[in-house]
Amino acid sequence: MNSILDRMINYNNICSLPSNTYVQKLANQARNGEGVLILTGEDLMKRNIEHEARQLQLHYNQHDIDSLTNEYWNSRLTLSQKNRFINLAKYINQIRNNKTIDLIVQINRPQITNTPFEYALFNGTSFYDDKITESSILPAGCSNSSLFP
């Protein structure tokens, strides 16, 4: 089956970058938390092979696609072709990371804790409260003592 796929699939279609609409679709999936966690250049090329096989209405299994992807990626692509796929995958991953960072920045609910240490650890340290400042600077047991009047 691998040789049939290899003979019928158009090399130029596989080695060309996905269309802008497809990239936009992948970016939207990344924003929505769908799809692959971290996309690689090889993953993008594999999607091209799967798309080409569907267009030709070929019956294939995942092993055939994986084998053909490995063969093309390791033997047939030039370094510049690989770099284009890799850079596009990095761009899509960056979109996903930006979304994650935006969500992290929006975390503003204080955590419920039982001790001042837990509060400082999970909610940050407030330097406007004298007791917390003393406890973060002075050795344990020294605050409110006669050693430091």
Using only C-alpha atoms, the chain has a radius of gyration, in whole angstroms, of 27
Q: What residue segments make up the domains of the chain, in order of their start?
A: 2-105, 110-144
pTM of this structure: 0.62
DSSP track, 48-98: HHHHHHHHTT----HHHHHHHHHHIIIII--HHHHHHHHHHHHHHHHHHHH
pLDDT along the chain (149 residues), means of 10: 63 80 77 74 90 83 89 92 93 81 72 83 65 54 52
